[in-house]
Structure 1
Amino acid sequence: MGNFDNQYITDRLQRNFGTDVKILGESFGLLSVGTAKERIIDLLRFLKEDDELSFSYLTDITAVHYPELEDPFCIVYHLHNLVQNIRIRIKVFVGGEPPSIPTATTLWKGANWMERETYDFFGIDFQGHPDLRRILNMDDLDVFPMRKEYPLEDPNRVDKKDFYFGR
């Protein structure tokens, strides 16, 4: 295992998961892969427990809302191999109301708070989570603030009208 790089990781993933894992890119040297929500726990377990890959550190779980897509929510996992000092990004696109995905707390206890934060801001239901409730916002808040469900600006604002700027 002398040459531990993105190509080596890609080859290992393709060998073990075939078409269930898609290579999304390598922006700034960070390998990004995508999979289906049905395979996410298998993929995370493989990346963590494989003796050669050993991505044992879960850096972050978050989400992105793309309202124009068929599956508008992208759940993003960042893993780190501390020995080789290499990172990987895993993306899973989900839809539905509420959008849901299996919990990663079965693999990392630290996923608990990351999933609660993602639930709090995006409304992602992490199935099997031991205590999925709001962590930063008020309990009675009935919206998820990071969803792109509202216009960016109030169309009735008069200080943004062109005639104020000589146009």
Structure 2
Amino acid sequence: MGFEDIKQLLTDKFGQEVVLGEEISGLQPALLIQPDRIAEVCLELRDNEKTFFDFLSCISGVDYGIGENMFGVVYHLSSIPYKTQLTLKVKKYYDRAQEGLPSFPSVYSVWRTAEWHEREAYDLVGINFENHPDLRRILLPDDWEGYPLRKDYKAQEYYHGIKVD
């Protein structure tokens, strides 16, 4: 099943509004999905016998920059039996001045490996994943301040008396 077929399958199942757009200029085409629907879209792509995306290879948190005030998540899916890959993207506006973190639904209930990928995006970019079973830092110490992969990140000068370069 090709990219256009998958897009049609999703719009037939969820309606035209679930696919917000597509990016076809890169090495791997991507579908832009309505953020609140990402978990159910992923479940459909995993369980549908025509697609069977049984492997979540990567989740990446993205900070689109201070000027845009957008955060997103990129999902790289693979179907081992069909030898196909698909990239899904979600993004939303987030005012950096407000308290809390940008938030997206977790796909942990679809692929268990998402637990680790989502924890990494939380730890490094500061993205909250709703209904994640154990959202906490995975690479940095629990008391680390900030999220190092954000565009506005300022490294602390010292950590427990040790100079941070």
Bigger shift: 29-38 or 40-49?
A: 29-38
What is the Cα-based RMSD across aligned positions, in Å? 1.7
- In structure 1, the partner of 2:139 is 136
Q: Map Cα deviations across residues 56-102 of structure 1 (whole Å, 9 max, x no partner).
A: 110111111112224x1111111011122111111111325311111
Contiguous gaps of at least 5 residues in structure 2: 155-165
Structure label with greater radius of gyration: 1
TM-score norm. by structure 2 comes to 0.82
- In structure 1, the partner of 2:107 is 104
Q: Helix, strand or coil: the match of 1:116? A: helix
Q: What residue identity is the alignment partner of 2:20? A: K
Q: Is the 8 A contact 1:98 1:123 kept in 2?
A: yes
CA distance in 2, matches of 1:9, 1:82: 16
Q: What residue identity is the alignment partner of 1:56? A: D
1:29 deviates by 5.4
TM-score norm. by structure 1 comes to 0.81
1:26 deviates by 2.2
- In structure 1, the partner of 2:128 is 125
Structure ranking higher in strand proportion: 2
1:30 deviates by 2.1
Contiguous gaps of at least 5 residues in structure 1: 152-167
- In structure 1, the partner of 2:160 is none
Q: Is the 8 A contact 1:20 1:39 kept in 2?
A: yes
Q: What residue identity is the alignment partner of 1:133? A: R
1:107 deviates by 1.0
1:28 deviates by 4.7
- In structure 1, the partner of 2:118 is 115
- In structure 2, the partner of 1:5 is 2
For residues 1-167 of structure 1, what are the structure 2 equivalents within 5 Å?
4-17=1-14, 18-28=16-26, 30-67=28-65, 68-70=67-69, 72-94=70-92, 95=94, 97-150=100-153
Q: What residue identity is the alignment partner of 1:60? A: C
Q: Helix, strand or coil: the match of 2:36? A: coil
1:150 deviates by 4.7
Query: What is the aligned-residue identity percentage?
Result: 33
Q: How many residues align?
A: 147
Q: Is the 8 A contact 1:10 1:23 kept in 2?
A: no
Q: Helix, strand or coil: the match of 2:123? A: helix
CA distance in 1, matches of 2:29, 2:117: 21
After superposition, the Cα gap between the structure-2 partners of 1:122 and 1:28, relative to the gap in structure 1 and judged at 3 Å, is closer
CA distance in 1, matches of 2:25, 2:113: 26
